[in-house]
């Protein structure tokens, strides 16, 4: 399982888009899920990164909430198929 630290928030369940979703420079995006409680707790750090929908378990390390407030969060990094970020 891939981890990622975004502005001091450790996500322990991060997904890299499959290779066929990459853009023209050969890189895809990284994303996770975040619950309503963590959205509120880290509101300054996640502003502008949240989707309007989502599902699953909150990806913030140590959380694990799974409810209707969970949405996807798209990180502002690009990842290639070797796992290197830019």
From CA 53, how far away is CA 55, in angstroms rounded?
7
Strands (E), the chain: 2-6, 9-16, 28-34, 71-79
Do the beta carbons of residue 35 and residue 58 sit within 8 Å?
Answer: yes
- If pLDDT is split at 50, 70 and 90, which confidence band does 4 have? confident
Query: In the prediction, which pLDDT does 77 show?
Result: 76
Q: Residue 60: is its pLDDT beyond 70?
A: yes
- Enumerate the domain spans of the chain: 2-79
3-state DSSP assignment of residue 40: helix
Q: What is the pLDDT of residues 9-55, one digit of tens each?
A: 999 988 877 555 566 666 667 889 999 999 999 999 999 999 999 99
- Comparing CA positions, the residue from 9, 81, 1, 2 lying closest to residue 49 is 9
φ/ψ region of 52 (left if φ > 0, alpha if ψ in -120 to 50, else beta) reads alpha
What pLDDT score was predicted for residue 68?
94
Global confidence as pTM: 0.82
């Amino acid at each position: 399982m891939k981890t990622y630290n975004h502005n001091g928030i450790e996500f322990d369940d991060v997904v890299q888009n499959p290779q066929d979703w990459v853009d023209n420079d050969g890189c895809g995006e990284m994303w996770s899920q975040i619950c309503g409680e963590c959205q509120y707790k880290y509101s300054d750090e996640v502003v502008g990164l949240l989707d309007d929908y989502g599902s699953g378990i909150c990806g913030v390390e140590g959380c694990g909430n799974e409810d209707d407030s969970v949405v996807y969060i798209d990180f502002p990094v690009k990842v290639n198929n070797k796992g290197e970020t830019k």
